[in-house]
Amino acid sequence: MSLTGKIKATAATDTGMVREHNEDAIGSDPDLGLLVLADGMGGYNAGEVASGIAVKTVLSQVSAALETIPDRNEIEPESGLRRDSIILRDAIFRANRIIHNTAQTQPDCEGMGTTVVACLFYDNKISVAHVGDSRMYRMRDGNLEQITMDHSLLQELVDRGFYSKEEALRSTNKNYVTRALGVEPSVDVELNEAEVVPGDFYLLCSDGLSDMVEDDDIQLTISTFHANLDVVGQQLIRLSNDQGGRDNISLMLAYIAQPFPARKGMLGNVLNWFNSSK
């Protein structure tokens, strides 16, 4: 089932005001409801190699896997997660191996890595996978909430009580990530699942946005310009650059316009009819 029209989306990326080139990468498959964003690092041009590999690999691996899965709502016994989440995780595992092998065998790519945040919509649900400090936010009923938790030294210090959330906002040590793709042969991918309702906004972004623009201003921008997603993206890029634009800025914004329940097979339709006739 195509999700085009049921989920409206926009994407934008910008080099910022300081960096010479853009090491972020973004990609999507609107029919599948798949969004991927990566923020590369390490060596001249190597960061954009890593982020590009991450996005392309996740898009291709997820698309191929979904063609062979009969029940995407099937729960994996070990993790208790839906099949969609496992597919996202495995695609990121694959991207990590490719990036790590490339970094080990190509001198120009030595030391490269990338963060990644990806989401997959299906059957009025969302699966989210991330590594590093690229984020996902959800705005529901006017309230903005950070869905992912940064894999960063600063976040660990907050978790351990060394910094308050307010002190963390003012910290200059925001860019030390504790997880990234390509750094090690394996990587720990964090997964989240949630119900989706019409009217939700989902924002994926690199730290070039979240470090420059406070959450309250992101919420206000979406609330003010929500009728035009492209304008929301442009305004968020502008706000980041007005605050100094110290890093590349990338974002992807999805609006849930309509419910998107999964189509039932013949057996499902019979069971629904039977249950409703009791």
Taking only the tens place, the pLDDT of each residue in 133-172 is: 999 999 999 999 999 999 976 566 555 555 556 554 555 5
**Domain membership flag for residue 160:** no
**Domain membership flag for residue 104:** yes
State residue 36's pLDDT score: 98
CATH number of the domain enclosing 132: 3.60.40.10
**Domain membership flag for residue 244:** yes
End-to-end CA distance of the chain: 30
When divided into structural domains, the chain yields a total of 1
User: 216 lies in which domain range?
Assistant: 7-150+179-276
**Domain membership flag for residue 2:** no
**Domain membership flag for residue 173:** no
State residue 272's pLDDT score: 41
Q: Is the pLDDT of residue 275 over 60?
A: no
Q: What is the value of pTM for the model shown?
A: 0.89
The band of 250, judged by pLDDT with boundaries at 50, 70 and 90, is very high
Give the residue carrying structure tokens 């070039």.
Answer: 208
**Domain membership flag for residue 156:** no
Q: What is the pLDDT averaged over residues 227-256?
A: 98
Q: At what angle do helices 46-66 and 83-105 cross, to 10 degrees?
A: 140
Give the residue carrying structure tokens 């990587």.
Answer: 187
**Domain membership flag for residue 268:** yes
**Domain membership flag for residue 167:** no
